[in-house]
Amino acid sequence: MRIVQMRDDVITITAARHELTSIVAAARMAHELISADLEAPAGAAAQLARALREYDSAIAHAVAGHRGSTPVALEQEEAMNPRRHHPLKGR
Please report, for the chain, the start and end positions of each structural domain, with discontinuous segments joined by +.
2-80
- Please enumerate, as own/partner, the contacts of 62-67 that have beta carbons within 8 Å and a separation of 24 or more: 62/87, 62/88, 63/87, 63/88
Q: Looking at residues 31-57, what average pLDDT do you find?
A: 93
How many whole angstroms separate alpha carbon 18 and alpha carbon 9? 25
- Between the alpha carbon of residue 33 and those of residues 26, 36, 49, 65, 66, the distances in Å are 11, 5, 12, 34, 34
What integer best gives the mean pLDDT of the chain?
80
Assign 91 a pLDDT band (cuts: 50, 70, 90): very low
* Residues forming a β-bridge with 86: 90
